Structures are given as C-alpha cells and as structure tokens.
Amino acid sequence: MRVPIFPLDNVVLFPSVQVPLYIFEPRYRQMTAAALEGGLHIGMVAVQPQHRDAMSGDPPVFPVGCLGEIGHSEPHEDGTYHLILQGTSRFRIEGEIPKEDGREYRIADVEVLEEEPNAPGDALLPIRTRVLDLMCQIVPDQAASFRVELFASLDDATFVNAFCQSLDFSTVEKQHFLEANSVRDRAEQLVALMDFRLAAQSLNGTPGPETLH
C-alpha cells in the first residue's frame, strides 16, 4: 500500500481514535489536497526525538505509524485546512518513494499491521478498571469523569487506544504503545506507565502535570 506520510514530533495517532489537525505548511497543504482527491488516507508517523531540529526537512521517523482517514475537512481561503483524522490501522514503513513531478511531501510503501487477537475469553475488564482507578488517583479533581459506566460502550481496543493517545506521555512512550502487537500488551504497558507516573507523583509530594490534552 502506498500512502502520503505526515511526520510530527508531538502526535502519535492510534487506531479507532481521532485527532484534529491544522494544516498550514505548503507541502502538507499539497498533501492534503491530494488525499482529498484520492483515497482520503494519510499515514501519521512520529519523528525520532533526536531529529526534531530537522523538522523543516525530511527527518528520520519511527518505522511504525498509523493510517488515518480524513473524516472531516474544512478548507480556508488562505489554503490551510482544519482536518479530523480517524485512525484506522497500524502500518510499518517498507520504503519511501523519491520525490518527483513537483511533489513536496513524502510518500511511502507501507505494510498494514494486524493486531494480534486476544485469547478467547481474555476480557480486559480488570485492566480497564485499573486504568480508570489510576486516573482517579492521578487527577482526583476529575474523578467523576472516570466512572466505569461512562466507558462501558467502548470496545477494548478503542478504550485502550484512546487513553494511550490522550494521556500526557512522551512521544517515545506513546510510540512504544503503538508498536505493541496486541491490545492486551498495549493495555499492560499503559497500566505499568500509569503506575510509575502515580508513584513519581506521590514521591514528589506535589500534584502531577495536567494529564489530559
């Protein structure tokens, strides 16, 4: 599969989760126009942290990213766009296509990665409950927002991926979540990192940083 790739240094997209984007650089305005005319897909990839200073060029990116489908687009008179991108599936970059014919954005051949299924009867309810309990401890003033019943309608993948994307972890930490091969593995990594965050917060004796974007 061949898709345009959109490298960012501070966003990691996950399947089943949405992200709002403001597109203003000329090359990505060109990319967006092409995607709107074509298959509506953009490959979101994270830039390797040590290369953030090279964002104006084509910095190295992590090999695993997430396909996003444009669910809503709002073009503006100045050529910029507001987009809502819906994560669909993970992918691995197999190689990039050299730029030609005036194309300013990057295109890559990618392999779509399937999530390993959970074992039969392997419900994630205990882990989901633990995530919500940890959230109530990390941000106690928002505890009412994390009642179990408020999330009951979400399937396991959407629940886990939404928290992985929305919590205030580093790009590298979120990238590790994205590269997990199953929802259970990702959920267990999430709980371990939340436990660490809570422990560090307790040791500091001060409230932690704002957790939700």
Q: pLDDT tens digit string along 21-58? A: 999 999 999 999 999 998 899 999 999 999 989 899 99
Position 63, amino acid: P
The enclosing domain of 99 has a CATH number of 2.30.130.40
Write down the pLDDT at residue 209.
41
pLDDT mean values, one per 10 residues, the chain (213 residues): 95 96 97 94 96 92 98 95 97 97 97 80 83 94 91 93 94 96 94 93 60 34
Q: pLDDT tens digit string along 175-196? A: 999 999 999 999 999 999 999 9
Q: What would you report as the CA-atom Rg of the chain, rounded to the nearest whole angstrom?
A: 18
Say if residue 132 is in the same domain as residue 107.
no
Q: Please check whether residue 186 lies inside any domain of the structure.
A: yes
CA distance 107 to 172: 23
Task: Provide the domain count of the chain.
Answer: 2
Paired tokens of 69: 């489908």
Say if residue 150 is in the same domain as residue 108.
no
Say if residue 91 is in the same domain as residue 26.
yes
| pTM of the predicted structure, to 2 decimals | 0.89
Write down the pLDDT at residue 203.
79
Say if residue 79 is in the same domain as residue 156.
no
73: containing domain: 2-113
φ, ψ of residue 74 in degrees (nearest 5):
-130, 100
Q: Please check whether residue 135 lies inside any domain of the structure.
A: yes
- Three-class SS state of 19: strand
Write down the pLDDT at residue 119.
59
Paired tokens of 136: 């109530």
Diameter of the chain by CA atoms?
Answer: 58
Q: Please check whether residue 210 lies inside any domain of the structure.
A: no
| 90, burial (CB in 10 Å: exposed 0-12, middle 13-18, buried 19+) | buried
Say if residue 165 is in the same domain as residue 139.
yes
Say if residue 6 is in the same domain as residue 64.
yes
End-of-domain residue from the set 64, 80, 113: 113
Write down the pLDDT at residue 109.
98
Say if residue 48 is in the same domain as residue 105.
yes
Q: Please check whether residue 99 lies inside any domain of the structure.
A: yes
Say if residue 85 is in the same domain as residue 150.
no
Say if residue 87 is in the same domain as residue 21.
yes
